[in-house]
Every structure is written in C-alpha cells, then in structure tokens.
Structure 1
Amino acid sequence: MEQQPRRKSWVVGPMIALALLCGVVIGKGWEPTGHARETYEELKTFSEVLNQVQKHYVEETKPKDLIQGAIRGMLGTLDPHSAYMTPEMYKEMQVETRGEFGGVGIQIGVKDNRLSVIAPIEGTPAYRAGIKAGDFITKVNEDSTKDLSLMDAVTKMRGPKGSKVNLTIQRDGTPEPLVFTLLRDTIKIESVKSKMIDNLGYVRLTQFQEATGRDLSKAIKQFRDQKVQGTILDLRNNPGGLLTAAVDVSEQFLPSGKLVVYTKSREGKKDEWFAKSKDQLE
C-alpha cells in the first residue's frame, strides 16, 4: 500500500518545467511524433491555460499553487488512492505511521465517491463523541468534502492539541445531518492489542505501522509462554498502512522462504518479499 511519495513530491514539479522547456526546444528544432506529439500538444494547452489564469484571473495567483493544484487534479483522475503529497504532507504521513499525531482519531477512506469513516480509533475524541464506522463526512468546519482528496481531508482534520474542529456527518438511517464539535488531542495509536480469551490468544491489528511487526512478535511470544491452544488474528476495520509492516506481520505465520507478496509494474518488473522468520507461529 505504500509507495515513495517524497520522491514524487519533489520530482513531479521539475518534470513539468522540464517538459515545458523541451516543448520550446522541440518547436524550434524538430517535430515530435506519436506519443511525444500528443504529450507536447497537451502540455502546450496546459501552458496556455496557466498563462491566461495568471494574466486575467480576478485575483493574484501564485504559479506554485496553480501547478500543484493541477498535479493534484491529474492524480485525482487515476483512482481514490493516488495522491500528490507535498513535503509537509509526507512528513505528516510519517508521523502517523510512527503512531502519534494531533487530531480527532478517525481512520477515513472513500466509499461511493464520498468521504467515509472506516473506524474511529478507540479512546480518541471521535470515538468518545460517538462517530461510527460507515458514517459519511460531508463537511469539515464549513468546507464541503465533495471532491476533496484523502490527503486534503486528513490535513483539515489534523491540528494542535486543544483546538476545535466541526464535522458534519451523514449517517444511514438518520434523516438530518449530525454535527460533532471535537477537541483535538494527541492521538497515540497502538496498532497491536492482545489478550487471552479462555485458552486462546486474541490479537487485533488496527493498522500497519513501523512497529507493528515487532509488537506482534512480543504478543506471540506471550501466547507461546502461556501455551495457548490457538490464536485469533483480528483485522476488522484495518485500513492498511506500510507494505513492509504487512510483510513483517505475514512472515510470522509463514515458513521461511515463502513468498508473501509481490508488486508488478506496467513494464512487468516485479519486486518480491519473502518470509525470513524461522520461528513462525504454529
């Protein structure tokens, strides 16, 4: 589920600038063909629109804001999970996957083209207020979430501890929208929660963070010490997270050398992850 978003955030802008520059060179020196011609024509249109907006829009605009907005729009046409992250957004994502950040404690996603609650995190302001899995978030403060990317929605709901945010919720079976005023708090996510149920070990994974594999290993060791008859692994409402963390979890249930997962590019290049653990749970 994870990519290398930082590289994208720094490289895409220069690529567009380089492409526009190449367009000038192409126009003076030679005629593009095939896909190059199509790309050149579209970039020429983009450049013309950008120029018109900068010259004639009713308010002053910043080229950086316009170009980043165009990039977000471009990636938004792909699928709900592709997004452009600025360095600031990438830093926030790193904070979240480490398990601590300032916010209201909601795991969100896109369902039926609407911003939806995957699950409130236990013990957080959203959980205590009664926000439920399956709720649709229609507004953050006074801003509509229609056509809002996941990253932008996360940014709007994040904030320093003690600050307020209003969420307007549409809930199935409730005719009128519900408005929740939440006080942001420091959200600490424990991705691994374990306990004993009779003679069974129960472990719940709330998401895949950097420390998830290590914390799961500790829970499994405790189960072994208590000689449990079996283990229940609960992944309900888990929104995902780091691919490497998911591999760390999987290999604890697989024999060494077993293929866990692979990714395949459009060109056919495969990256494979194999289980390395020699002491998997039986």
Structure 2
Amino acid sequence: MALIVGLIIGLVLGLTGAGGSVFAVPLLIILLDLPMQQAIGISLGAVAVSALFGTITRLKSGNILWLPALVYSVLGAATAPIGNVVNQSIDEVTLLISFALLVVMIAARMWIQAQRTPEDTKAIRAQWSADKSEQEALCRAAGNQPFSIGFSCILAMSGGAVLTGLLSGLYGVGGGFLIVPTLIFLIQVSIQQAIATSLVVISVISSSGFITYLLSGATVESKTLALVCFGGVSGMVVGLLTSKRVNGPTLQKSFAGAMLIMMCITLMVKLFLRA
C-alpha cells in the first residue's frame, strides 16, 4: 500500500505545475493509517526525493534558474525547521483543520488557473525536457535589472521563501503553489522556467524539513519511507511518459476536485469515525 501511495504522490506531483504535493499527507493518513505528524514527516521525505528526480530530468532543458533557486532555497530551508517546531507543539486536530483550509486555498487556485490561463496548465513538472526559454531573470524590486544577490532582490524574495519554508515544515508540502507564482511575479520569467526552478527549491526545502523532523527525535518507519519514495519516483516516470497526452486544464480541475474530496474524507476519518 505504501508503494501505491508513493506512486500517486509522484504522479500528481509530476502532472501539476504546482500544488501536487498536498495529496501526500491525506493519502498517508487515509491509506496507511498514520498519525498526522508522522504522515508529514514521510511526506517531506517523499516529496524531496521526487522533486530531486524531477530536477535531474530538467537539467538539460536549460530552464532552471540557478541563482534565484539558490536564494529561494537558502531562505526557505532556513525557516522550514521553524515550521517543524510549530508542528510538534500543536495538537493534531488543530493541525488537521488548518491543513484543510490550506488545501481549499490551493485547490481554488488550481481551478481558477485552469479557467483563466488554461495554457499554463500544460506546463508541468513531468517533462524530460522543455523548450528552452531565453527569457532572462529580471528583479522587479531592482528596477527590472538582471537578478543578482543584492539586498533589494533578496528582500523581495524573502516573503515567499520564508512562507514556503514555514508551510513545508508545518504541513509537509513542497510549496510549489507559492514558489511558481512568486518567481513569475518577482523575476518575470516564463512558466516553464518557474516550474523547472521550483523543483530545485522544493527538493532543498523539503530535505531541510525532513532532516529537522528526524533530528527532533521523531521516528519514521524506514521501510514505509523507502516504499513511498520509490513509488514517488515511479509516479514521476509515469508522468513523464504520459504527460503529453493527459496534461491540461481538465486534468488540473480533476486534481483540484480530488484534492477537496480526499481532504473531506480525511477530516471525517480523523475527527468523527475515530473520535
């Protein structure tokens, strides 16, 4: 069952431009009957491995913007442990309800994107390569000058990066739903560049959150983690092979709807059936 969960996580993560990793926690809770904190820990590990695999498949595309990825990753990785500390200090019911609200916001954003900009939904993570965009990363906060490690550029990016890190540590999500629009807005790059760069950021921030989770003394069933991670990579491969046929606005709306349904089931199981 853990392998199947990982397969679904990797497939959804690969076939969405952003927001796919929020499937991980509900699936782990419903299908593997894990406590939420442990589900978050395994989610962080699985998302980190899947995103790293996605990064490797994108290396030759030329769309990864390494300098913005470095800045975003460092800021986000530094705050992911804070989210993990908060995770350990609040009760499971509060954590679950707040996570449900986050899922609703992400699903709504995915649905609206599919309605307003359907072409953007065809740019997904599961691609062996993408048409290289020659668009240069420009820092909006520095008067549209080329992006550099300067105070104004770092300050502008810090808000999204810090929030991404906190949410990753707190809920076990990758944060692509924040990373992609932040990069597009702040450094004015194409959707393909933003998605490719987000994979690097997700792998670093999720790894930071997972390491912090382990250092906190929490335990993870190594066999379960290995199976979920293997399934996640396998799901990404399936996404790579099928992406040209299935990606698009209809698929993204389907994922958004499935996300809401799965969250409702999770709430029912945790709050009512096992009360």
TM range (shorter): under 0.3
**Which fold has the larger relative contact order, with Cα–Cα distance below 8 Å and residues 6 or more apart in sequence?**
2
More strand per residue: 1
Higher CA-based Rg: 1
* Higher fraction of helix: 2
Q: TM-score, normalised by structure 2?
A: 0.20
- TM-score calculated relative to the size of structure 1: 0.20
